[in-house]
Amino acid sequence: MVDDVIIALSTPVGKSGIGVVRMSGKNCLDIAKKMFTPLNKNVDIIPNLMVLGNINLGSTTDIGFMVYFKAPKSYTGEDTIEFQCHGGIAVTQKIIEKALSLGVRLAEPGEFSKRAFLNGKMSLDQAEGVIDTINAESESELKASSGLQKGILTKTIENIQDTLIDIMSEIEVNLDYPEHDIEYATKEKINNEIDKIYTKISNLLKTEQQGKIIKNGVNIAIVGKTNVGKSSLLNALLGTEQAIVTDIEGTTRDVVIGSIEYKGIKFNFLDTAGIRQTNDKVENIGIEKAKQVLKESDIVLLVIDGSKELDNQDKENLELTKDKKRIIVVNKIDIKKFIKLQEETVEISAKNNINIEKLKEKIYNKAIDGCDVNNTLVLTNARHLEVLKSAIREIKSIKETIFENSLDLVALDTRQLYEKLGEITGETIDEKVIDRIFSKFCLGK
Amino acid sequence: MKEYDVIVIGSGHAGVESALAAARLNNKTLLTTLNLDSISFLACNPSIGGTAKGQLVSEIDALGGEMGKAADRNILQLRLLNTGKGVAVQSLRAQVDKHAYHMDMKNVLESQKNLDIMQCEVVEILVKDNKVYGIKTAFNETILAKTVVVCTGVYLDSRIIIGEYTKDQGPNGFINSHGLSSSLSSLGFKILRFKTGTPARVLNSSINYSKFECQYGDNNIQTFSFLTKKQPKNVAVCYLGYTNEKTHDIIRKNLERAPMYSGMIKGVGPRYCPSIEDKVVRFADKTRHQIFLEPEDKYGNEIYVQGFSSSMPRDVQEEMYKSVEGFENVKILRNAYAIEYDCISSLDLLPTLESKRIENLFFAGQINGTSGYEEAAAQGLIAGINASNKINNKEPLILRRDQAYIGVLIDDLVTKGTNEPYRMMTSRAEYRLLLRQDNADIRLTEIGRKVGLVDDYRYKIFQQKLKKINKVNEIINEKLDSKKVKELLIKKEESCSIIPTTARELIKRNNITIFDVNEEFKLFKNINSNILKYVETEVKYEGYLKRQEILINQMKKNEDIKLDKDFDYNKVKGLRLEARQKLNSFKPLTLGQASRISGVSPADISVLTVYLTLSKKKK
């Protein structure tokens, strides 16, 4: 029996109502318990029983279900966990990431079926199909990473790997030829090169954001206290009468979605009920929802009534959104311009359609911030993302220890980083370091 | 007609280990040699060990081989390389007395039970039904054998080149071998042509040493053999000097007379052992190259000039050497030369070093495309053991990549092959942290015991060592006086935010060694420093060692799945065509080996796993 724990997304990658992430292997329940807290704390995890709870996504949580299948009564014949969560890349990706940080490994193509077969869960006839599954899945993975995108990604990663070979050859030549008068591979120099690689991979990861934007659009939450003109603003942006606009405080109670396309990017607007304390029960639910929408949004438009002075509620909203990508929109400038904030603002009149185009441009810039829109490389493949994120983790750990560790350990870390990236390019080290050593350095007796 | 269990052809470093292993495992063994005076001859450097090679020697020793002991007995200077760069890459290197070393090994062979030695030339390997049954000598004598180990080194149809002068001969004026190469070729072996070289030897008294830097040996360090009790004395000094622009100009001026560039040499030379003309051409911007002066024996009259190998004509060599500062009046005793020789493709071998095409025929050493005494000896030992195991119906000995450099060496040779003389380097070992000089005995003594080459004496010493290690491991887990711990931390400028409670935790700190702890707390009595150092390494590297352990366990799973060497991969529906062809031509012994063949993808290995399980279930 195979004993390491593997994980993979079982539902198709991309937009879907719910996503299922499956994990299989000995003791995977222990790992799952670190990732999941039942809402009802007294509930025991019983095999085959669905439990509602919070799935730990690192910085945030998602509400979802967890089911535990105890070996051998599972698809793979091993202990298996299924998480059912909200669909879309972000949530499922985060679950997988969390599991990987706990020592779980991303499943190889067809590995769940392979394990099911190896554990005797399939008849011999079915097993013939397993080979096809392995081939089909590795084929489709190949396809997902083929074409232009693959070309650019591979080139970029190969470029990074080439730098790593340089670093490694400098370290290795020092280790294997201690008596030669070659330039010593200083840790400062290695550290500098590692920094450059870090930047390159971070830039690649930024295209994840871009990839998401291109695929799903950018989610924009419009936030502000009651009656600052959020619904009017939404209507102005959409150009239709979508939300109900009244003068009575608290009339918008549902999160209304409307979308427009601007310069090829889809803006999904999420209208929110006014965030304020109230005794109205129905409205309270709306407020909770608003806070959740805030969490799910990529960009926040914080609307402030420019005709009035900032009050405590505005200040609270400023505080609430301070960590988000946000644009402060000062509305009602047609009435009176009163407010002056330290942060940059966009001054509009939703009612009179003043500066609405300017706001759209601002949203667009915010959305593609840090992404090179002309860069055709967009990361959307889950495995690629995962590899790069682990690479970033490895770089961080190298940087933490490089000045304390001896050169043999630094060499090992660098090699592991190379091999990690090799999961994208398929490049293995083989003779490359040795070839580089002999092409760069004059050695020998 | 004479008959043996094992015949070993060649008495170099591979042949000697092979013959000793076979004889010590109670096989009636014959060692043939072209010349008794060339037994264990150090044809190039008068030195043994070096990075990764030092580890090889200690591994040979732990398995019950001879090289480590013989080296220790004949040391002129011993050094530990890479002391500042981490324990994993620290290696021993020794200057040895090349004449004493040869005589010593000759004596060991002559005193060995079950072993006959015979000076003769072997001209044919006798094979029937793809199975070896003996050899034929140049005297036209047939000698029968159950197994034959070929360790012919650089002697097969070899020729030496010094400028325009060339002669069919072996190294150092020894005669070479004719006939055997064509015998191998007619048996279907692919013959490759490799090249290597050696520098001139010069007269000690003709050198002005004031122009050179001294290099001394290290004291109180471990030795190659785990049985050596007496620390060898450093009786020799080596020297470091440099070539200069004048030297390089002489070389450039005479390049058209260099056989390397005139097309006279066709063999493939090693990149790590370039001639001086090669260095000057390839690294034109370097204004100087290092040369090291090493004594050939205890008398010290003949000096080996490391870094100055060449195949230039004699007169150019003279001019080149004299241009070096301190060499103005140098007298060359023996010229530098290049040597070309035949070898086989190591891809024709199984991981046991037995031929894939001819049963009971084994190969070891430079004939497999390697270079280096240590690489040769390591293969010789394994080939000798496996020849013996084959006769006695025992499981073959195949060391894994995580067990020994020997495992890395042989796996590289038989799985990847080599297109230049192969030298062991620490960077070839992915589990380098585990394959250290200091733990070779811990890794391999039990294996050697199982093979039968580790005698009771060695085994007893090993067990005593284990006991002491356990003792030290117990002591370092005991609680220490926290006040004194804090004092030590302050003295060593270590953080006091968390106060370690045991010696073990203290040793984990960067600036604190086990010796510091011992000085402060007097914990260990009668325990030698090598053992303390070993425990310290295991503690300090714990995290990294565990990480390597995880990788090894993943790898081992595939390594344990055996593949039938007659299996037809065309039968596996779902394997890609390239994988089928590669697997069919390689015939790997394990799934692990299959996964390292270039052109076989992880998906192919998955498919193969499923197929294998399937066919097992069908039975």
Taking only the tens place, the pLDDT of each residue in B280-332 is: 988 888 899 999 999 999 999 999 999 999 999 999 999 999 999 999 999 99
A407: chain B residues, CB-CB within 8 Å: 85-86, 89
Residue A73 included in any domain: yes
Average pLDDT over residues A360-368: 83
* Domain endpoint, select from A342, A367, A392: A367
Query: Chain A neighbours among B 415-444 (CB < 8 Å)?
Result: 416, 425-428, 430, 432-433
Contact B603 A135 (CB under 8 A): yes
Based on the domain organization, do A227 and A324 belong to the same domain? yes
CB-based contact, B610 to chain A, within 8 Å: yes
Domain B561-618 has CATH 3.30.300.20: no
pLDDT band at A145 (very low <50, low <70, confident <90, very high): very low
B611: chain A residues, CB-CB within 8 Å: 131
The answer to whether A337 and A263 are in contact (CB under 8 A) is: no
The answer to whether B191 and B184 are in contact (CB under 8 A) is: yes
A132: chain B residues, CB-CB within 8 Å: 574
The predicted structure's pLDDT at residue B126: 98
Return the closest-CA partner of residue B298 out of B146, B454, B164, B101. Answer: B101
Distance CA A53, CA A44 (A): 12
Write the CATH number for A204: 1.20.120.430
Backbone angles phi, psi at A231, to 5 degrees: -70, -40
Residue with tokens 């220790």: B72
Determine the Cα angle at A170 with ends B215 and B310, to 5°.
55
A124: chain B residues, CB-CB within 8 Å: 614, 617-618
The predicted structure's pLDDT at residue A350: 86
The answer to whether B118 and B108 are in contact (CB under 8 A) is: no
Q: Where are the alpha helices (DSSP H) in A12-105?
A: 28-33, 89-101
CB-based contact, A110 to chain B, within 8 Å: yes
Q: Which amino acid is at B448?
A: G
In DSSP notation, B592-608 reads: HHHHHSTT--HHHHHHH
- H or E stretch including B316? helix B314-322
Residue with tokens 């006091």: B496
Based on the domain organization, do A49 and A75 belong to the same domain? yes
Return the closest-CA partner of residue A216 out of A297, A323, A273, A300. Answer: A297
The predicted structure's pLDDT at residue B555: 83
CB-based contact, B279 to chain A, within 8 Å: yes
The answer to whether B6 and B22 are in contact (CB under 8 A) is: yes
Q: What is the domain extent for residue A65?
A: 6-144
Contact A175 B554 (CB under 8 A): no
pLDDT band at A216 (very low <50, low <70, confident <90, very high): low
CB-based contact, A406 to chain B, within 8 Å: yes
Contact B426 A445 (CB under 8 A): no
In DSSP notation, A340-352 reads: --SS-EEE-BTTT
Residue with tokens 């010229």: B335
Mutate to test the interface with B, among A143, A167, A179 (most CBs of B within 10 A): A179
Average pLDDT over residues A22-33: 91
Contact B425 A172 (CB under 8 A): yes
Give whichever of A236-240, A433-437, B472-476 has the largest mean pLDDT.
B472-476
Residue A445 included in any domain: no
Based on the domain organization, do A388 and A250 belong to the same domain? no
What top-level class would CATH report for the domain B201-338? mainly beta
What angle do the packed helices B529-540 and B542-559 form, to 10 degrees?
Answer: 80
Residue A373 included in any domain: no
Read off the pLDDT of residues B463-475 as tens digits, 9 standing for 90 and up.
Answer: 999 999 999 999 9
Distance CA B236, CA B520 (A): 37
Contact A175 B428 (CB under 8 A): no
Report the residue count for chain A: 445
**For the CA atoms of chain B, what is the radius of gyration?**
26
Among B45, B51, B573, beta carbon nearest to A131: B573
* pLDDT above 70 as % of chain B: 100
- Cβ-based contacts under 8 A for chains A and B: 129
Query: Chain B neighbours among A 153-212 (CB < 8 Å)?
Result: 168, 172, 174-181
Q: What single DSSP character describes residue A370?
A: T
Residue of A nearest to B619 (CA): A124
Q: Are strands B142-150 and B361-363 parallel, antiparallel or unpaired?
A: parallel
Closest approach of chain B CAs to the CA of A184, in angstroms?
11
The answer to whether A154 and A421 are in contact (CB under 8 A) is: no
User: How many Å from the N-terminal Cα to the C-terminal Cα in chain A?
Assistant: 51
What angle do the packed helices A382-401 and A187-216 form, to 10 degrees?
Answer: 150
CB-based contact, B309 to chain A, within 8 Å: yes
Write the CATH number for A60: 3.30.1360.120
Read off the pLDDT of residues A249-305 as tens digits, 9 standing for 90 and up.
Answer: 444 444 546 777 777 677 888 766 544 545 555 555 556 666 777 777 888 999 988
Q: List A270's β-bridge partners, or say none.
A: A221, A257
Same fold, B201-338 and B561-618: no
Distance CA B319, CA B259 (A): 17
Q: The domain B466-547: what is its CATH number?
A: 1.10.10.1800
* Domain endpoint, select from A118, A144, A170: A144
The predicted structure's pLDDT at residue B602: 78
Return the closest-CA partner of residue B411 out of B361, B349, B358. Answer: B349
Average pLDDT over residues B118-138: 97
Write the CATH number for A348: 3.40.50.300
Based on the domain organization, do A130 and A205 belong to the same domain? no
Return the closest-CA partner of residue B371 out of B420, B445, B423. Answer: B423
Domain positions in chain B:
201-338, 466-547, 561-618
* Domain endpoint, select from A96, A117, A144: A144
- Give percent helix, percent strand, percent coil of chain A, each to the nearest 5: 45, 20, 35
Residue of A nearest to B282 (CA): A442
Based on the domain organization, do A208 and A279 belong to the same domain? no
Contact A175 B541 (CB under 8 A): no
Residue with tokens 């072209």: B34
SS (H, E, C) B534-560: HHHHHHHCHHHHHHHHHHHHHHHHHHC
Contact B427 A407 (CB under 8 A): no
Residue A115 included in any domain: yes
For the ranges A108-112, B78-82, B565-569, the lowest mean pLDDT is seen at A108-112
CB-based contact, B40 to chain A, within 8 Å: no
Based on the domain organization, do A123 and A94 belong to the same domain? yes
Q: Three-state SS for A235?
A: helix
For the ranges A294-303, B140-149, B453-462, B494-503, the lowest mean pLDDT is seen at A294-303
Whole-structure pTM value? 0.80
Q: Is the pLDDT of residue A183 over 80?
A: no
Q: Which two tokens stand for residue A317?
A: 């909203």
How many folded domains does chain A comprise?
3
Q: Three-state SS for A174?
A: helix
Based on the domain organization, do A260 and A353 belong to the same domain? yes
CB-based contact, B607 to chain A, within 8 Å: yes
The predicted structure's pLDDT at residue A230: 82
